[in-house]
Amino acid sequence: MKFIMRIIVTSIIAYGLSKILSGIHVIDFWTAIALAVVLAILNAIVKPIFIILTLPITLITFGLFLFVINAGIILLADKLLDGFSVDGFWWALLFSLLLSVVTSVLYKEDNNQKGKAVE
């Protein structure tokens, strides 16, 4: 159930960002749901491989290269989904940063609410 809620929240945020950012295009909400699922799969399978393969450059850049990996994951999702497109690397980087920040804030709020309910 938690996975489904994360997919829905991520898809809402991705769809909203596509309406705000002119370089990100999602044709409808169903495509945003598909995007969230594809991103979850890519982050679970492909991203760890990229991190291991680029470990030296990630260490040299003090972890900043992880932003490039995140943008690469977004660009890979662009190639895999028909209704989702990104106008370039910089749009992918901005989209991945905003998606990460907003989802982190929302998930942190969700965890804070759960902690208060227990007390």
Structure confidence by residue, pLDDT tens digits, 8-33: 999 999 999 999 999 999 999 999 99
DSSP type of residue 82: S
Q: How is the chain split among helix, strand and coil, in percent rounded to 5? A: 80, 5, 15
| pLDDT grade for 107, boundaries at 50, 70 and 90 | confident
- The pLDDT score that the predictor gives to residue 114 is 64
| pLDDT grade for 115, boundaries at 50, 70 and 90 | low
**Separation CA 56–CA 61 (nearest Å):** 9
Rg over CA atoms, the chain: 15
- The pLDDT score that the predictor gives to residue 65 is 96
**Separation CA 101–CA 115 (nearest Å):** 21
Tokens of 76: 């890979």
Q: What is the pLDDT of residues 28-37, one digit of tens each?
A: 999 999 999 9
pLDDT at 110 over 80: no
